[in-house]
Amino acid sequence: MKLCVLCNTNRAQLKRPKTGQQICKTCFYAVFEYEIHCTITENKLFKRGDKVAIAASGGKDSTVLAHTMKLLNDRYDYGLDLCLLSIDEGIKGYRDDSLETVKRNQLQYNLPLLVLSYEELYGWSMDKIVAQIGTKNNCTFCGVFRRQALDRGAARLGVDHIVTGHNADDVAETVLMNRKLLVLFQKFTLTHFPLVFRGDFARLTRCTSITTQTLETSATTAPEHLTIPRSKPFKYTYEKEIVLYAYFLSLDYFSTECTYSVEAYRGYARVFLKDLEKVRASAIMDVIHSGEAYAQSLDEIERVEAENGGKKKKKTVVQKQGTCERCGYISSNKLCKACVLLESLNKGLPAVSLE
């Protein structure tokens, strides 16, 4: 019998995806939960008394997030006031079913729940949007609307902080969706990978930061115009471990993919990451750390260039950030992204560019 390498007492029951260690279930729960606790405390995500909304979709990540946030809050006495916030995008056969799971989670974890729908906020469900524009650009509409809907829900709940279930795999994939970084990775890895990825510094900074605050555009803004901070306590937690944890503990979650999800860029990044993992077990953490270092060095280059009187550091804090003249959401343009998209829908236009 092979013994768990951590406790040296129980039988090893699994090979830990993050480290390759053979461990028992009890030690797996302990390290899984303790690492999330360390991510929360080392990054000082919350302060005592904070009201925190858990963005809950009913999927594995946010269900495990609700479970661990509740458990760690009790175990380590963080003093947080937790609640669940769900956005109903209006996708029949997908979100209506996953929201049923969230409603059960609300009872299981004894947490208050607010559900806000696109229909209520925007007058359009995703089913209606797809009926009008098709499935090609629908993820753009859904992403912009959800980001704003979560902020609106959080404001309605009066919370200080939002947490989402974005995990290490999500972060690493988003890093790889940055064209410049991808080229670096390609140099010493696979050659067949298509060069279709974006070179977007704002996105790289946003995805590698553990906490972000919504900016309506990629331009930087004055702090008083920032919205509610949003954090990823699972930034260093592997998706495979989240699935194992949920499976071993028989957590109640919904596991169907969105019927309209055709995010091609992310699909490429995911396949590439899996290929990388085959040749190097630590690929996910390596990519995250490279992304963090790259974002930091780009920021440093900009700072030095600005100090030397060369290229100006991006239209920083000087840019005036106001609010959308139609809906009041933060925006540095006359209309926020959601209102631009809504205008195109209401006029019956097929697609719109947000650049």
Which residues contact ligand ATP (rule: CB under 6 A)?
Answer: 55-57, 59-62, 86-87, 89, 146, 164-166, 170
Question: How many CB atoms within 10 Å of residue 64?
Answer: 24
CB of 58 to ligand ATP, least distance (A): 7
CB of 253 to ligand ATP, least distance (A): 7
Nearer to ligand ATP, 27 or 161 (CB): 161
| Closest residue to ligand ATP in the complex (CB) | 59
Q: Which residue has the tokens 């790259």?
A: 294
- Confirm whether residue 57 is marked as ligand binding: yes
The amino acid present at 10, given as its one-letter code, is N
Nearer to ligand ATP, 6 or 58 (CB): 58
| 331 backbone dihedrals φ, ψ, rounded to 5° | -165, 140
- Confirm whether residue 56 is marked as ligand binding: yes
CB of 165 to ligand ATP, least distance (A): 3
Nearer to ligand ATP, 51 or 314 (CB): 51
Nearer to ligand ATP, 27 or 269 (CB): 269
Nearer to ligand ATP, 95 or 337 (CB): 95
Nearer to ligand ATP, 69 or 283 (CB): 69
Cross-strand partners of 163:
54, 231
The alpha carbon dihedral of 189, 193, 199, 200 has a sign of negative
Give the angle 213-69-251 at the CA atoms, nearest 5°. 120
Q: Which residue has the tokens 């550091």?
A: 313
CB of 83 to ligand ATP, least distance (A): 12
Cβ atoms of residues 253 and 60 within 8 Å: yes
CB of 182 to ligand ATP, least distance (A): 20
Question: How many CB atoms within 10 Å of residue 351?
Answer: 12
CB of 50 to ligand ATP, least distance (A): 17
Cβ atoms of residues 189 and 276 within 8 Å: yes
CB of 221 to ligand ATP, least distance (A): 23
- Confirm whether residue 169 is marked as ligand binding: no
- Confirm whether residue 165 is marked as ligand binding: yes
Nearer to ligand ATP, 116 or 330 (CB): 116
Contacts of 196 (CB under 8 A, 6+ apart): 264, 265, 268
Alpha helices in the chain (DSSP H): 25-42, 60-75, 95-109, 118-122, 126-133, 138-157, 168-176, 179-187, 201-208, 239-248, 264-279, 283-307, 337-346
- Confirm whether residue 299 is marked as ligand binding: no
Known binding residues are 55-57, 61, 87, 165, 170
Known binding residues for ATP are 55-57, 61, 87, 165, 170
